[in-house]
Structure 1
């Protein structure tokens, strides 16, 4: 993505700037880790650092906005009647691989704060998809959203410790193991 600074369009551009900052943060954190320079994110978004700090008080606030955006995207996808549990879990695993730099932010476990709320939302979304899949006989009847959340958390912990060049292969292998446990 080009790193060109846009002309200051004033307060009317606030929503577009925020969206650009979140997209840039997602890319930069994935490429360079959670400690990537915020100035790089601002440049990638095509805004000044002042704009970044008007929207996000600190690195954690920006990372939380990326998580929130990811969860909203997952919820939107899950709401489509033809979305299956397999497709959703593959999308989540892809997001885990892409967002592994954020593991530093969510370690220790999600016991409170805004990430816990997002975790609850993802669990509820998975519960709805599990119900649909159960009704169609696609998964085991005893599988719960909590089971899936635990499996995804274990995969995220494994990926956080995998060498960057091995993450995609490790995620694919981990997903295959998880998938075998879902079968009816």
Structure 2
């Protein structure tokens, strides 16, 4: 009987952790982050003690959310290798998420440089196979190299951040995505 209790607690803990990460992703997709930890606990439907048991601080939560999104990118990228026409929507969604999740991006920029570089390299590693596949199938210009994706991200983020308000930033970001993708895809 004790085994069943431990198993259900583990499942409950796993559900709580997943709910916290989902809630944090939602909060960090807003225009400006509110008091992050209390709002995440509220949206996840857990107490602050449960939140802090899983993530002792904003840094730990940020790292978990970034890891969650990178894992999603890796899954989507792997699925698009055999379907090269999916690379454009994959890249569009990645660029769009960097605009809509600006609070997360700002928190990520505060991480130590080695950690930031590992995350960038992990994203590039995930995107490289579908990029090659899209190039081989004639969807993407052949002179684009994986590290150019960093340049694309920088250009889109720069356009979105150059405006004075969130709505204008989203509009500028969307427009820059269209322009960037039109320059990359054949």
TM-score, reference length from structure 2: 0.84
Contact 1:100 1:160 in 2 (8 A): no
Query: How many angstroms apart in 1 are the aligned matches of 2:66 and 2:162?
Result: 20
SS at 2:129 equivalent: helix
Q: 1:95: which partner in 2?
A: 97
Q: 1:175: which partner in 2?
A: 177
Structure 1 32/52 Cα, relative in aligned 2: closer, same or farther at 3 Å? Answer: farther
Q: 1:52: which partner in 2?
A: 51
Query: How many angstroms apart in 1 are the aligned matches of 2:25 and 2:158?
Result: 19
Query: How many angstroms apart in 2 are the aligned matches of 1:95 and 1:107?
Result: 15
Is 1:61 the counterpart of 2:60? The answer is yes
Structure 1 29/124 Cα, relative in aligned 2: closer, same or farther at 3 Å? Answer: same
Counterpart mapping for 1:31-180 below 5 A: 31=30, 33-34=32-33, 36-80=35-79, 81-82=82-83, 84-107=86-109, 111-113=113-115, 115-162=116-163, 163-180=165-182
Which is worse superposed, 156-165 or 11-20? 156-165
* Alpha-carbon displacement from aligned partner over 1:116-175 (angstroms, at most 9, x marks no partner): 222111101221111101111111111011111221123224323432112331122111
Structure 1 36/160 Cα, relative in aligned 2: closer, same or farther at 3 Å? Answer: farther
Query: How many angstroms apart in 1 are the aligned matches of 2:40 and 2:24?
Result: 6
Alignment gaps of 5+ in structure 1:
1-8
Measured on the aligned residues, the alpha-carbon RMSD in Å equals 2.1
User: Which of the pair is proportionally richer in helix?
Assistant: 2
Shift of 1:35: 5.1
Contact 1:29 1:99 in 2 (8 A): yes
Q: Count residues with an aligned counterpart.
A: 175
* Alpha-carbon displacement from aligned partner over 1:84-103 (angstroms, at most 9, x marks no partner): 22011111022112211123
TM-score, reference length from structure 1: 0.85
SS at 1:31 equivalent: coil
Structure 1 158/118 Cα, relative in aligned 2: closer, same or farther at 3 Å? Answer: same
